[in-house]
Structure 1
């Protein structure tokens, strides 16, 4: 079993806190809203070129993002807001995030985001927020759709349909390694470990 928390730290003082909060919502119109909020604060007061003195705990960055997606995680609408930033012009880049409309959250998402919004084409902090927003989209949409599909199948007395598609979670982390026990148990057709190799050999005979 892994540890329940970090070990006791050395004597220290807090300097910087970044908070990222993401939430997923099901909308009445059948779409999904995935929202993120990012803040950066310091434990000390300091001077900024355009905002002047900032007291301890005053956000140097505060950004919001909403992705509206469909059941396939295709982005249907985007709203990005820079509420607090070091420079007044920081928020002028938010319209560029409309380039996300039409993209699908899934394989290739990070690359597509960087191509459109990386470096001077976007805002570092809003782009970083898109990572946890993508994870939140998966966690929001797929469990609900899977549960409802299972409920429909049980009500109809039929087995769950197997469309043969590659499981979304396959090889996303070590737990879902295609050679591992979780994949062997839940998606045997996609298991590539020893037993999977034996099945393929038998099918070829």
Structure 2
């Protein structure tokens, strides 16, 4: 039993981020992400007004991704619930993500385009999670594609190399794939 299981605690907030990836056709994937923040108690806004318990943020982003580059061809942002009317104005800044590929440097690009005072921290959090999920969806699609001629390729290695500790340069997985490419 964990020490955290023994603590006397009262839940006050739940954040759920979910993503789903769909194959549209041989050229496109659709990734849909949902962020939902729920508060279990009445709270106050920074400006002092009371906020009832319940959903404070409920946002959806849909990305149409071009294969195999994972370039964002189109996107849609839906803010179902937000604490302030001004929050709705941040949807447009997300259009700056069109044309960006989900690849190395994606997180930095998201923060630079949609973060800070011109954007929404919640949409940025959702989009960052969606980038990782899109990558997983892409690999699921690729690994189930029975027409794939070149499972061991330098392109695949470049896509994976340096993405995490397991795929670090010089690591066991990188070396194994490199050996299979050279066969």
Q: Same fold (TM over 0.5)?
A: yes
- TM-score category by the smaller chain? 0.7 to 0.9
Bigger share in strand: 2
- The number of residues matched between the two structures is 178
Give the equivalent residue in structure 1 for 2:125: 128
Q: Are the structure 2 counterparts of residues 78 and 45 from structure 1 closer, same or farther at C-alpha, using a change threshold of 3 Å?
A: same
CA distance in 1, matches of 2:3, 2:81: 32
Deviations 1:87-133 (A, max 9, x none): 11211120121111111111121122222112111111001111110
- Scaled by the length of structure 1, the TM-score of the pair is 0.76
Give the equivalent residue in structure 2 for 1:152: 147
CA RMSD for the aligned pairs? 2.7
Q: Are the structure 2 counterparts of residues 169 and 28 from structure 1 closer, same or farther at C-alpha, using a change threshold of 3 Å?
A: closer
Give the equivalent residue in structure 1 for 2:177: 186
Aligned positions of 1:1-205 closer than 5 A: 8-28=5-25, 30-48=27-45, 53-56=50-53, 58-71=54-67, 72-148=69-145, 151-152=146-147, 160=150, 163-165=153-155, 166-188=157-179
Displacement of 1:167: 3.1
Unaligned runs of 5+ in 2: none
Q: Structure 1 residues 63-72 or 163-172, which shifts more?
A: 163-172
Q: Which has the larger radius of gyration?
A: 1
